[in-house]
Amino acid sequence: MKHLAILAAALAAAPLAAEAPDWAALAAQDIEALYAETRANHPGMHDPANPAFPALLEQARSEALGYAVQATSAAGFEASLDRFTAVLNDVHAGAYATLPQEHAPTIRWPGFIAAWRGDAMYVYKAAEGGPTAGSRIESCDGTPITDLVKTRVFGWRSGASVPGAWWASARLALVDDGNPFAALPQTCRFVTDGVAADRTLTWSPVPDHYSDWRNGSVNGDLLPIGLAERAPGIHWIAMPDFQPDEAGVAAYQALFGALAAKADTLRSARAVVLDLRFNNGGSSAWSRQIARLLWGEEAVDTRAAKRSEKTAVWWRPTTGNLAEVRSYVDLLNEQGDAETAAIVAQFIPLFESAIAKGDTWFVEPDFGPPAQPDAAPPAPQLTVPVYVVVPGQCASACLDAIDVFKLFPNTILIGAPSSADSTYMEVRNPPLPSGMARGIIPMKMYVDRPRGNGAFYTPDIEMIEFDWSTQSFLKRIEEHLAAR
């Protein structure tokens, strides 16, 4: 009896096991909230140039809910939201999961990292005993690799028709993220030196070096924000991030100072390299300032005004969007951009007035000096070759950077095809009810933007090499300079 009493007391004192989340209910709840948030705030709901958007949004909701009711795990919850994003097919719309560590799926690999180059998939690096690096992956379980990528990757993310998205994401066809709705390949056919052979895949948790190999396959090595002379007369400007933290903001301020101090050196250089590897967008203000310091402020601004003279920016004036815009003033001041912060401060009362009147659109006014698009632009101060290193995931503000750099004929793109975006921009990320996901809601749209909806950049020099290191790019640039 004494032992039974002790056991009873222990059981009474022990915490009850945490109840497993109802992943189906959580997914459905988040999808309904995401649908409502998007419907109320997304410019596409009233875009006269895109009358199909409301139906597309309904389709995204319907397909996502179809998976949500089957979700029995965190991975199923995440995949349901991913389906919503994939149907909208826009990097600026949908949702993303923010699962806490205890619910995060274990990522597994088959012992090798794949890489997409050109129009095929290859083995980038493999563990001992794995397939030979450089082997082409022809098919898996009898399915051609391109079809496998379409179902396992682009069934759950945007970009199936964008070449850069394949360069950046096709490798995920051979990564196990736990998605219960995407069948995991068991056998793949590899072609090595013209000889095809089937191999059974063995899936295991990723090793410690996995992220280094993964990053290497898509972007190469990560350079810090800054300026360096990486070969005699070749000056390299690394811009891996357009949404910098406090340290990154300081690094950009230091970079601006270095560019101003070395202006004469850069203008007599053999070449300048603008490196966008690892860049996933953010604010276009960083690249615009770098362009001004290189080519000259008037040379950049005059050409940019000419290019966008017919472009207008239409905002959806809603209370949710207004709250986000208000937060920009402090953020811009913290980043040292007092000029833009002052413009946003002028912008807010007009936004409030549009909401009060119940307007569908608020057309952004031009707070700057009157544009003179007919004026002859001043000669650029930088005329040496400028190479822009473009990764496949380059979208949003990364694409805006290329828009500006390509205003000048001495700009040469090297790397992969870029990604693409729609004309819906300036996203905010409201939390969804589960607390384990956030929405992606654009607040404005461009009307008559020169770069069209879904347009992307094709490199002048395509880097189909597996080695995307700085040294590999430097070698190709040296070869190109010698052949000019």
Q: Tell me the pLDDT tens digit for each residue of 174-214.
A: 999 999 999 999 999 999 999 999 999 999 999 999 999 99
State the pLDDT at residue 190.
98
Q: pLDDT tens-digit profile of 343-382?
A: 888 888 999 999 999 999 999 987 665 656 566 889 999 9
State the pLDDT at residue 18.
58
Q: pLDDT tens-digit profile of 415-452?
A: 999 999 999 999 999 999 999 999 999 999 999 999 99
9 has pLDDT over 70: no
State the pLDDT at residue 14.
43
Q: Which residue has the tokens 């919850």?
A: 77
State the pLDDT at residue 48.
96
Q: pLDDT tens-digit profile of 116-128?
A: 999 999 999 999 9
State the pLDDT at residue 17.
45
State the pLDDT at residue 4.
38
Query: Residue 5 — pLDDT band, cuts 50, 70, 90?
Result: very low
Query: Residue 19 — pLDDT band, cuts 50, 70, 90?
Result: confident
State the pLDDT at residue 90.
95
224 has pLDDT over 50: yes
Does residue 58 come out as left (phi exceeding 0), alpha (psi in the -120 to 50 range) or beta?
Answer: alpha
State the pLDDT at residue 6.
36
Query: Residue 217 — pLDDT band, cuts 50, 70, 90?
Result: very high
Across the chain, what does the average pLDDT equal? 93
Averaged pLDDT for residues 23-30:
98
Averaged pLDDT for residues 29-41:
98
State the pLDDT at residue 484.
86
State the pLDDT at residue 368.
60
Question: What global pTM score does this model have?
Answer: 0.89
State the pLDDT at residue 13.
44
Compute CA distances 476 → 255, 261, 266, 418, whole Å: 25, 28, 20, 19
Q: How many CA atoms lie within 13 A of 372 on its CB side?
A: 7
8 has pLDDT over 50: no
Q: What angle do CA 132, 137, 143 make, to 5 degrees?
A: 145
